[in-house]
Structure 1
Amino acid sequence: MKRTISLVVASLAVFAVVVGVAGAASSPTVATGAATTIRNHSAVLNGSVNPNGASTQYWFVWGPTTAYGGTSAHHGAGNGTRSVSVNVTASGLLPGTVYHYRMIAQNAFGTTMGRDRTFKTTGHPLPGVVTGSVTNLSAFGGTLNGTVVPNGATTSWYFQYSGGAPFVSTPVPPGTVSGSSGPTNVAQNIGPLAPGTLYQYRLVGVHASGTSYGPFQEFSTFPLSRPFPPRFTQSTQPSRDRTKPFIFTTTGLLTPSSRFFGPAQCTGTVNIRYFIGTRQVTLLRTSLQSNCTYRATAIFTHTFAFKVGGKRPATEQLRVEVRFGGNGWLAPTKNARVGHVILG
């Protein structure tokens, strides 16, 4: 009889231990599921969460990299001990873009992150647009330049510009670039413009997935009465680079005339060209900074001329020419500084 009672007590003790282990709450268990109902601008993110006996909240994060950036609202998953299927809709997405996402859940016992997964939205990526410089500048007009990347869909493009009034769009109808094209340089003449006036402009690209805007740039038309030319310095360092890649940095400062009275003292474009003889081997284009300085770096992986037998020379001299433009108040039509550097 005593042995029977002992066995019953032992069984009850084991049962109590098992119940105690099963009843202990813990951090949630999470599984990131596949994305569904994927559209140009949205997708449904799925997952499952087991609260493991404690009141639990869950949410999703997403973005173009594993740094994410987008997040859903927090939702309750209860305090049960079974896995629950959940989902949220990620919206405001870009077409034709790969997104990373994961599910996260949290309760009083800790935070659990599901594994990172990816999906790609439908449609073509938005067009790429880069606002370029102004050429052929005069008192009454100029040529706006830029680059369009259609990203697989026929893309319309146009420039917007303004001298302080509402923006004007040109051309009408807009130009087009075939979806099968790569990066395409585009240009549009504008005018008549007001002499001696500061203008803002940008390039715009549009296709079925949406609209892209290039960064704003500025230029000033020439005044009717040309001012005294500015002074500007040019220095390219080092004067010689003996090891590949050959790296040269050009810096300088523009000082407007003391008789300057224009609307944009430190705006404009600096073009830095490298030549072998009369042949241009590279062009750098940078903007004049608000303190009237400029800086640009050229990197060469090899020399350019060829010797007999098809070998490149070990040493070569390049001419560096700096010209300033894009601001008619400061730049005369001919204004250049020339230097030389040696490769190798």
Structure 2
Amino acid sequence: MALFLNFNLGKVRHPRHFPSAGRRPGDALPPAPEEGGLVSQSPPECVSELSSASIAPLSKEFEISSQFNELLPALLDQSLDCVKLICRDGRVQYMNRNGLCAMEIDNLSDIMGQQWIDLWPGEARELIQNALANAAVGPVRFDAHCPTAKGSPRWWDVSVSRVEDNEGRWLGYLSVSRDVTAARLAKEVADISAAEMRHRLKNSYAMVSGLLSSLARGNAEREQFVGEIRDRLAALGVAQTLFVASENAPCDIRELLPALLNPFSHAQCPIAVASLPEAVVNQGQADALALVFGEMAVNSSKHGALSSNGTIAVEADVAGDELLIRWSERSSRHVDAHSRTEGQGLRLINRILTARDGSLNVEWVDNGLDALIRLRVA
């Protein structure tokens, strides 16, 4: 979908307004501004006043009418993002006031006519070249690192769209870059903290296993029990590594579900995992499933099949854009109550799944329950 400039009405339609225009599946769109929520800013001191005269070359390249030529600077300066108009040959013809400040560029003339690709570091230039080539067909969006003109490190969320006039003539490109440096740094801090927590948890597993082994040494019955516990702790550690190996790495449920469930299965109550379909979940959904199955298994070990020589069967299938996972639990005891006043397990599971655009439906039977987990998949 191209971006159009309506010269008669002075109207610009930005690619962010089209939910289907992104080139990266699964990406969340930037939030729309609230109704009437115009944000005003004082002109930054680092940039001289922009006027229609400062974009005279733009009018020639883009064949913009004089009426729109007067309106364009004020219109683009309303954006807090870095907005650029780029010719078909890749030369920068305009950057708005806030963009100049964000990039620490003193004057528009410093970059006018330069190749946009030359403003990026060497490692990002192939990405920029491909973005321009692909944007001629449809909007492109990507994240990349680009320091400012004065060397300050910055990360940008960039969209590039084709610009056409009312007659469909290709004039060039519109690029909008949002400074996401703070969010990027915050995520790096969170990732480091999460990695440290996982490392400590892994060490805790090893420490608990060692303590149990020392306590059971010399007692054959205890040693057998401790061996089973060690195997379960090791399996839990393996399950964690499936979806934390790389950032946002998708996880195949044919690997994930057995790894999450096997640590809780035992001879008196095996957890039977049926043949699973080929489907992947993202890291957030994998985290949610780990928490959900952990909570359900713990609950079963206290009140259900895992504590009473029962059975648990888990199966999954894909219906449209939904992954359906069924947990069927049967206990040797009669179910006396479906919930407890002080119980928080089901409420926690529902909150976890809702946060991942999923849901849980539980149907109780005389000696167990049937649970259906729904998650959206690409």
TM bracket, shorter-chain basis: under 0.3
Query: Which entry has the higher C-alpha Rg, 1 or 2?
Result: 1
- Greater relative contact order (CA < 8 Å, ≥ 6 in sequence): 1
More strand per residue: 1 or 2?
Answer: 1
Q: Which has the higher helix share?
A: 2
TM-score by length of 2: 0.23
